[in-house]
Amino acid sequence: MEKETALIGDYLGTIEEFVPGEGTYSDDGKIYAANIGKAILDKENHIARIDGKIPSKLEVGQVIFGDVLNIRKNMVMIIARKIQGVKGEIDVRTGLYVSNISKGYVERPDDMFGIGDLVKGKIIRIEPGMINLSTEGEFGVVKAFCKRCRHPLIKPKKFGNRLVCSSCGHRERRKLAKDYGNVAVI
C-alpha cells in the first residue's frame, strides 16, 4: 500500500504491524517517517519504509546548521539549513539519536534541546532515507530560545552550562556547542 507523501514525523504504524524500514524510525513502539517521500506500508512483508531521496551534496563529515523540528524519546529531528563552508541554503531532514547527543549518558533529549533551537552538528552516517547527526564534543546548540517566552537565551559566564532568558529570567539547560552565542552561520 502506498500512502500520500509522508512528512517528517508522520505516524506510519506500530512495531507490531511493521518492521521499521528505510527512511523511518521507531520510538516507543510506534514508527514514524524520518524523511520526506512516499510512504510504503508493505503488509505482506511487514515493512514500513519511505521512498525518498537524499540530496547528493551531503557527505559524512560535513558540519551543518539546522533548526530543531521535534524532540522524541530516542531522537531529535533537525532540519539542516546550511552546510558549513558550502554556498546556498538547504532544507533537509536529519536525525540525531539520543546516543549521539553527547559523550555522556543522556536520558531525555528534551533536557538538551528545545524546539526551534539552532544546532551545529556533524554528519556521521548517511543511510538510505536517513541522515544521522552527532553533537558530541564541540557541537551542539548555538542559539536557543526560552521554552516559556521564546526570547533568546544567553550564556552568562558564571552559569557554566546553564542559559538564562534575556526577557523572563528562566534558566534552562542545553547540550551547548563550544561557541554558543558566538557563531556566524557561514
- Of 60, 149, 154, 185, the one binding Zn ion by CB under 5 A: 149
User: What amino acid is encoded at 51 in this protein?
Assistant: D
Nearest CB to Zn ion, comparing residues 60 and 149: 149
* Cross-strand pairs, 80: 66, 92
Distance in Å, CB of 180 to Zn ion, minimum: 17
Nearest CB to Zn ion, comparing residues 33 and 163: 163
Nearest CB to Zn ion, comparing residues 38 and 173: 173
Q: How far apart are CA 33 and CA 21, in angstroms?
A: 10
Phi/psi for 35 (5° steps) reads -150, 160
Cβ neighbour number for residue 176 with a 10 Å cutoff: 22
- Of 53, 148, 171, 178, the one binding Zn ion by CB under 5 A: 148
- Going residue by residue from 154 to 183, which x/- string records binding to Zn ion, judged by CB under 5 A? -----------x-xx-x-------------
CB 93 within 8 A of CB 77: yes
